[in-house]
Structure 1
Amino acid sequence: MLKRFPDREVMILDAEDHLIAALERQGYAVKDGQYQVFMTHDLRDLPAVSLPDGFVVRPITEADLARRVEVHQRVWHPSRVTEESYRNVMAAWPYRPDLDWVVEAPDGRFAAYCLMWFDDQNRVGELEPVGTHPDFRRMGLGAAVCFGAMRALRELGADQAIVYPVHDNPAETFYQHLGFRPYARTLTYSR
């Protein structure tokens, strides 16, 4: 039995009918508002992507730490990510440098990035986070870095990639253009 907490909210997936029924029996109702869309991309057929002259898509190396942090800070300004905090990310399981991809511009700056988290037991990888430097947007670099990372993921034996953008957000549209398809969404229930 669910305990009654009048000020509590519960987030579930729309496919969890048994939880929906239990919540509704306890007086909970769907709360309007933002929700996340769960999206998937089959890795068997990834399109070829061309880059502008002089741009390179690749995984990072230890020597790239400062530039990797800098691109994250520019994309998510203001950002709390520092070289020290990113070293902690890199030291955490299941981080893999071969799944931390960037697009390097001709001037040496990182123009876009995509970090993949690989679940080898379920053969799936999550893209999180992904971003393009403000100076390099609308050049196809976000797509290029995502597809580069997804190819690397496929080479490791993954079957699919997943993302969880907020609905009605530019990220959802971006992932749809890459070929991601929704399979579930979150519902928030409250009393």
Structure 2
Amino acid sequence: MAPMQRHTYTGPLALRAMQDLATRVFPATGYRHIGDLAWNWCLALDRADGHPTAIWTDEDQTLAWGWLELPDTLMLQVDPSHSQLTDEVLDWAEQTAPGTLHVEIAETEQHLAVTLERRGYKRAPDGPFMTVMRRPLTHLPDLPPLPDGYLIRAQQDPTDTAGRAAAHRAAFGSTRITTERHARMRSMWPYRPELDLIVISPAGDAVAYCQGWYDETNRIGEFEPVGTHPEHRRLGLARAVCTAVLHAFADAGGDHATVYCRGDAAYPVPKQLYESIGFTSHTRTHTYTTRT
């Protein structure tokens, strides 16, 4: 039998290995959906030197991984049945990114919390945090009516792809999603175009969207990301397009849907949106920091 191995990379180059573990662990933790990893991987591609990655494998099975966003942020996942590897992931991260390190985990990942606390990491006082929300894909709400002239559909051509990227930039005030980056993401597994829906305005522009990712093994869909152009808010567009993606998940054979959003009172609107279409909180995140 081959010994357990650690593979290190200068950037996020082992996405499928990471998704292998995420698929196995998701039913227990409800955190780190394969679509969430794909989305974050796409954002990191052009900054590979700032995202060193390490993967621990036993033969063809991934048992743990660590993914740094330099200078000070660590994302990790460890198979609960191999929780001793948490120390190895943290050793690698602390050696690769010396100094203060911030690690975000879910409450359902107690095997990680135990090791972090044993090593002297301190849980940050409550500030901004993410809540993980879920809902079954049964008894779905009907698609709400759209304002006159608006319609929901999948992206059909390069103009739609560019419009979808532009809508994201406007919604989040960010330049990270370029047309090229979004087009590249559309070629990544497990992307499915029928789950990435846009709202078209009367002028023919993409002005809102909900991108869905589907984990066929666990039959769970995830929203990541969702947004509305500031000039088209308060029209019910996000609620409508999210509802449409829920129906698309059900049509794909899904059992549940999940979404991560801010759970603190400083940023309540997304959580209120998801609650309005039947999502309830499943778990939340906490951030642990090395002692300074």
TM-score, normalising length from structure 2? Answer: 0.60
Alignment partners' CA distance in 1, 2:211 and 2:189: 13
- 1:105-120 equivalence runs, <5 A: 105-120=201-216
Residue of structure 1 equivalent to 2:128: 34
Local SS of the residue matching 2:253: coil
Query: Does the alignment pair 1:13 with 2:112?
Result: no
Task: Assess, with a 3 A threshold, how the Cα gap between structure 1 residues 141 and 28 changes in structure 2: closer, same or farther.
Answer: same
Local SS of the residue matching 1:117: strand
Residue of structure 1 equivalent to 2:169: 73
Answer whether contact 1:114 1:146 (CA < 8 A) is retained.
yes
Bigger mean CA offset, 69-78 vs 118-127: 69-78
Query: Does the alignment pair 1:158 with 2:254?
Result: yes
Alignment partners' CA distance in 1, 2:247 and 2:172: 25
- 1:1-191 equivalence runs, <5 A: 2=87, 7-32=100-125, 33-48=127-142, 49-63=144-158, 64-168=160-264, 169=267, 170-190=269-289, 191=291
Answer whether contact 2:141 2:277 (CA < 8 A) is retained.
no
Share of identical aligned residues, percent? 39
Q: CA deviation at 1:99?
A: 0.8
The code of the aligned residue for 2:271 comes to: E
Answer whether contact 1:61 1:97 (CA < 8 A) is retained.
no
Q: CA deviation at 1:129?
A: 0.8
Q: Deviations over 1:159-178 (max 9, x none)?
A: 11111112222322222222
Alignment partners' CA distance in 2, 1:84 and 1:14: 36
Q: Deviations over 1:40-97 (max 9, x none)?
A: 1211121111112222111221242222222222212232322211111111111111
TM-score, normalising length from structure 1? Answer: 0.89
Bigger mean CA offset, 172-181 vs 93-102: 172-181
Answer whether contact 1:58 1:148 (CA < 8 A) is retained.
no
Question: Which has the bigger relative contact order, CA under 8 A and spacing at least 6?
Answer: 1
Local SS of the residue matching 2:207: strand
Task: Assess, with a 3 A threshold, how the Cα gap between structure 1 residues 112 and 27 changes in structure 2: closer, same or farther.
Answer: same
